[in-house]
Structure 1
Amino acid sequence: MTTNKRTFIAALGALAFTAVAAAPGVATARQAAPAPAAARNVVLVHGAFADGSGWRAVYDNLTRRGYRVTIVQNPLTSLADDVAATRRALDQQDGPTILVGHSWGGTVITEAGVHPKVTGLVYVSALSPDAGETTADQYKGFTTPPEFVLKTTPDGFGYIDPAKFQAGFAADATDAEAAFLRDSQVPIAMASFGVKLQNAAWKTRPSWAVIATDDKAFDQRMLHSMATKIGAEVTEVKASHAVFMTQSAVVADVIDGAAKHAAHKRKSN
């Protein structure tokens, strides 16, 4: 074979390779981009009048699935203190993380969720203010069910009336479970509800919402209004405000789904 012919064949082969590589739907090894990593870390943030122990069943469920789960113990002394506690937990994660909040914990994750390791947010019958709004602003135009009765200490901390606790917080729990929650409840500094948020993480992170249909801490219209506002994927479940405990399998399933799909749903500003 002559040199000219060999040159012609080599050029023809190079041209064919270029055409295939450029064809729609055909990817070369160099062009292929790695799929976004699913989150393997979960941080759970409790709400007011509770502590992290209520997450135990969710913790057990997720750890069995291979997740690394961290439970924040909010001091409930101020929004800033609770956000700081959550950020400390997020700093300890080794990669993409799903941040979960129940009730008041929703306000906390809304502020803290701009942390770079957070890839998705799960609101469990939770509050979701916008930047510049307070938690108290979320209640405007809605009526809290009569079963949910708060009392306030002289130094400004609120707690649920023990005589009304089961009806208002954990109606679907056993008497023993409700008694433990009642007797271990943690009062919250009521001034926290009047603090304006600086960030709204749901604007840049995909969100999921679990709505307990028998929740007596919130007006159902309020829960749905907040979920719509943040563009959350909603799961409804028949449960009380203690849904994180009484329907832990449903909550864990939503978190698992968020962990698997959050990386593909990242929002843009």
Structure 2
Amino acid sequence: MLAADLTFILAHGAWADGSSWSKVITGLLHRGIKAVTAPLPLTSLADDVAAVERTVERVGGPVVLVGHAYAGAVVGSVRSPEVKGLVYVTALAPDEGETVADVFYRTEPHPLAPHLAPDAHGWIWLPESAFAKAFAPDASEDGQAMLAAVQRPISPACITVPVARPLWKDVPSWYLVAAQDRMIVEETQRFMAARMNATVVAHPVDHTPGVTAPDTVVDLILQAAHGIAG
């Protein structure tokens, strides 16, 4: 198998959409790597997993799943035999029987992390001020404003359901540790990456390196591509 034979399916996290991967997609295409996004409804973990599995089916052939933040739990729950590897971008990786909330809240949050709670309709939105303080502090003011404007809320049903045996126990995985992440603290990232036995790369980047440091994400994806192909 060649790296060019793989398609990378990029799954966005909470409070984001597929456009958060645009710089990464451009970087991959310039290097001959195919990439598409999987639009997640963020309505429940099962719904989001189904959305990724439909994307795998639509693409056809061998794929590698890339998950950012919450989407780490999603890509780890996919069961298609076409998945040859997983890439976690400062992502959550619950083990069997754990919920996303379990790993998200396993340590004390960063002092600038926002307080999260459902609104009157049951959706969890990110406060607008949190995009500059915690979600993407390294983005420009315009970039932060755009992220806030296009954010998509997440349902508590995404983060309160225990996961089954995660796929990272059966396929190779790579993990980008974002050392300046104020949403998922570095200690939690390293804990998850270690028990996954993932190949780890660490950079002093914020919670959304796909937006603020896309080259670091592209480089890790290329490492995964060549590792799987080789």
TM-score by length of 1: 0.81
1:126 corresponding residue in structure 2: 91
2:218 corresponding residue in structure 1: 252
> What does 1:57-136 align with in structure 2 at a 5 Å threshold?
57-112=23-78, 114-136=79-101
SS in 2 for 1:132: coil
Closer/same/farther in 2, CA of residues 142 and 58 from structure 1, 3 Å limit:
same
1:56 corresponding residue in structure 2: 22
Conservation of the 8 A alpha-carbon contact between 1:37 and 1:96: no
- Aligned partner of 1:146 among 100, 103, 111: 111
Task: Kindly name which structure, 1 or 2, has the bigger radius of gyration based on alpha carbons.
Answer: 1
Conservation of the 8 A alpha-carbon contact between 2:92 and 2:104: no
Residue 37 of structure 1, CA deviation: 4.5
2:126 corresponding residue in structure 1: 160
SS in 1 for 2:125: strand
SS in 2 for 1:259: helix
- Matched positions, count: 228
Structure 1: which amino acid aligns with 2:169? Answer: K
Closer/same/farther in 2, CA of residues 116 and 37 from structure 1, 3 Å limit:
farther
Conservation of the 8 A alpha-carbon contact between 1:169 and 1:242: yes
Moved over 3 A (4+): 36-39
Residue 164 of structure 1, CA deviation: 2.6
Confirm whether residue 241 of structure 1 aligns to residue 207 of structure 2: yes
Residue 140 of structure 1, CA deviation: 4.8
Task: Show structure 1 runs of 5+ residues with no match.
Answer: 1-35, 265-269
Residue 151 of structure 1, CA deviation: 4.2
Residue 53 of structure 1, CA deviation: 0.2
Closer/same/farther in 2, CA of residues 215 and 44 from structure 1, 3 Å limit:
same
Rounded Cα–Cα distance in structure 1 between residues aligned with 2:46 and 2:147: 25
Residue 155 of structure 1, CA deviation: 2.1
Identical-residue share of aligned pairs (%): 37
Residue 115 of structure 1, CA deviation: 1.3
Structure 2: which amino acid aligns with 1:147? Answer: L
Residue 176 of structure 1, CA deviation: 0.3
Structure 2: which amino acid aligns with 1:143? Answer: E
Conservation of the 8 A alpha-carbon contact between 1:97 and 1:259: no
CA RMSD of aligned residues (A): 1.4
Rounded Cα–Cα distance in structure 2 between residues aligned with 1:146 and 1:140: 13
TM-score by length of 2: 0.94
> What does 1:171-182 align with in structure 2 at a 5 Å threshold?
171-182=137-148
